[in-house]
């Protein structure tokens, strides 16, 4: 093997730093600094050098996020500090009770300062960095023991393989949530549907399924992100005084932290943060299922301690659920202006995503087949953000004996339907032949015009 010259070693180091910086700008700050073509040239140059001189490869090189032959081990990992869960508050009153308990326990007369964090709906993970390099990533598991998912976590571009900055501690553990942004989730489901594979019910399941892969090459193709929300140091004397400052430190090390985080003093301010985040919920590019309030002072957190499996210094206040169960009472066919026919499920009304929903799109006949929907089925209905409510899963165990198959509308005998691969199209002339139940009537309720969602 040819030994790399000092010039080659130096150029490889320069390329690694430049590419790592571009990755940070792109994946963490969402602010790319170079066009893709330039990035690709740099990446290829580094790949070529490393192929020619394998001994210059470092554990944190950006070319090796996906190890060629490495498989995720899922070996058992005991958490040095347990990854406990959060208590929930389901109403404003329960949040006020929480704040009262905190103040009573601390014998505080002044209002308490909290950090308010969007509660991402993903999977909690723990990342260990030794001398600044990512050495181990684990799932939360039961809070005490998780699974080693290092090879999969390395494929997530917003996870730093090396901490930024010079003054990094010897051993640090960063915790956060791995999640799949809405756009990536929808693109992934489209891709799976095109291949005739089963789609994921929601972004959380998609993120979980992606992390559970044995082959990191599969995980690498999934649009996952990591958002950090806490830090623990071996050398506690290096911890800042507040959780907020800890988050700023984590951000400086190169992690994505949530830009919606803010501080609030007292329960009233917290409830205002809850309402403001609720108003923003639909417009965020990722799903959240609530807001987490954490006592900001680490000294006060320590004083409060833990009860059973949850910290006394934090609580999650939940948002209305975006998925509920209901029953399909009928399926009708809605005809758009272009003649495209969309099956619409008439549902037993259900409160989901903050509104009462009585219709949900079934998209097309392929989708009905893929889901295996029958009239009478109990189904998961999902309404996330401002999108049309969707039927995402049939609960097979709850199928009644009299469940009926969904029938296509019967066309007039003189007209022939045009059957496309993924959608049934009918010429408008055919509509005259449709029965009343399959008429072009626009369904009442929450559905916008067909052209937005067929």
Q: Which is nearer to ligand 9MJ, 243 or 393 (CB)?
A: 243
Question: Any contact of residue 119 with ligand 9MJ (CB under 6 A)?
Answer: yes
Q: Which of 103, 107, 119, 215 is catalytic?
A: 119
Question: Any contact of residue 120 with ligand 9MJ (CB under 6 A)?
Answer: yes
Select the span of 117-125, 127-135, 396-404, 444-452 touching ligand 9MJ (CB under 6 A). 117-125
Q: Interface residues for ligand 9MJ in 281-320 (CB under 6 A)?
A: 292, 314
Question: Any contact of residue 229 with ligand 9MJ (CB under 6 A)?
Answer: yes
Question: Any contact of residue 4 with ligand 9MJ (CB under 6 A)?
Answer: no
Q: How far is the CB of 438 from ligand 9MJ (least distance, A)?
A: 44
Chain CA centroid to CA 435, Å: 43
Q: Of 445, 450, 453, whose CA–CA distance to 431 is shortest?
A: 450
Q: How far is the CB of 102 from ligand 9MJ (least distance, A)?
A: 15
Q: Which helix (H) or strand (E) holds 316?
A: strand 314-318
**Residue 119 is a catalytic residue:** yes
Question: Any contact of residue 226 with ligand 9MJ (CB under 6 A)?
Answer: no
Question: Any contact of residue 156 with ligand 9MJ (CB under 6 A)?
Answer: no
Q: Which is nearer to ligand 9MJ, 264 or 314 (CB)?
A: 314
Q: Which residue intervals of 228-287 are DSSP H helices?
A: 243-252, 266-281
104-115 burial, b if ≥16 CB within 10 A, otherwise e?
eebeeeeebbbb
Instruction: In whole angstroms, give the CA distance from residue 224 to residue 288.
Output: 15
Chain CA centroid to CA 64, Å: 24
Instruction: In whole angstroms, give the CA distance from residue 67 to residue 73.
Output: 13
What does residue 214 show for φ and ψ, rounded to 5 degrees?
-75, -30
Site string for ligand 9MJ, 86-115 (x = CB under 6 A): x-----------------------------
Question: Any contact of residue 277 with ligand 9MJ (CB under 6 A)?
Answer: no
Which tokens in the block code for residue 59? 């554990």
Which tokens in the block code for residue 101? 């308990």
Q: How many CB atoms lie within 10 A of CB 196?
A: 8
3-state helix, strand, coil in the chain (%, to 5): 35, 30, 40
Q: Which is nearer to ligand 9MJ, 61 or 317 (CB)?
A: 317
Q: How far is the CB of 146 from ligand 9MJ (least distance, A)?
A: 13
Number of residues that bind ligand 9MJ (CB under 6 A): 9
Residues marked as catalytic: 119
Which residues bind to ligand 9MJ, rule: CB under 6 A? 86, 117, 119-120, 177, 229-230, 292, 314
């Amino acid at each position: 093997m040819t030994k790399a010259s000092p010039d080659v070693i130096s150029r490889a180091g320069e390329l690694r730093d430049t590419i790592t910086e571009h990755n940070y700008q792109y994946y963490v700050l969402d602010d790319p600094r170079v066009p893709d073509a330039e990035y690709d040239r740099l990446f290829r140059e580094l790949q070529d050098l490393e192929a020619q001189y394998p001994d210059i490869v470092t554990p944190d090189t950006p070319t090796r996020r996906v190890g060629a032959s490495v498989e995720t081990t899922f070996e058992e990992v005991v958490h040095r500090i347990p990854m406990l869960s959060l208590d929930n508050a389901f109403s404003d009153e329960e949040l006020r009770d929480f704040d009262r308990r905190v103040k009573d326990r601390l014998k505080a007369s002044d209002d308490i300062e909290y950090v308010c964090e969007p509660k991402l709906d993903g999977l909690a993970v723990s990342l260990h960095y030794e001398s600044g390099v990512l050495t181990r990533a684990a799932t939360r598991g039961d809070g005490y023991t998780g699974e080693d998912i290092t090879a999969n976590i390395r494929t997530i571009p917003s996870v730093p393989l090396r901490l930024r900055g010079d003054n990094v501690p010897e051993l640090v553990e960063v915790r956060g949530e791995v999640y799949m942004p809405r756009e990536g989730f929808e693109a992934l489901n489209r891709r799976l549907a095109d291949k005739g594979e089963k789609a994921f019910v929601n972004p959380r399941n998609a993120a979980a399924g992606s992390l559970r892969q044995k082959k990191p090459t599969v995980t690498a193709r999934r649009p996952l992100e990591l958002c950090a929300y806490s830090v623990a140091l071996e050398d506690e004397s290096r911890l800042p005084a507040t959780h907020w400052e800890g988050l700023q430190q984590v951000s400086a090390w190169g992690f994505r932290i949530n830009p919606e985080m803010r501080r609030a003093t007292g329960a009233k301010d917290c409830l205002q943060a809850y309402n403001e985040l609720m108003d923003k919920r639909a417009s965020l590019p990722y799903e959240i299922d609530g807001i987490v309030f954490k006592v900001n002072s680490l000294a006060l957190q320590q004083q409060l301690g833990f009860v059973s499996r949850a910290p006394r210094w934090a609580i999650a206040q939940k948002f209305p659920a975006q998925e509920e169960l209901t029953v399909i009472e009928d399926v009708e066919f809605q005809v758009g202006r272009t003649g495209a026919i969309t099956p619409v499920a008439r549902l037993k009304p259900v409160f989901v995503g903050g509104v009462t929903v009585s219709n949900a799109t079934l998209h097309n006949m392929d989708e009905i087949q893929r889901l295996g929907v029958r009239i009478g089925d109990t189904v998961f209905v999902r309404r996330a953000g401002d999108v049309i409510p969707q039927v995402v899963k049939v609960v097979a165990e709850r199928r009644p004996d009299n469940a009926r198959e969904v029938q296509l509308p019967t066309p007039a005998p003189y007209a022939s339907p045009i059957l496309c691969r993924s959608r049934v199209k009918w010429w408008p002339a055919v509509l005259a032949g449709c029965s009343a139940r399959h008429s072009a009537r626009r369904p009442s309720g929450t559905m916008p015009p067909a052209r937005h969602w067929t």
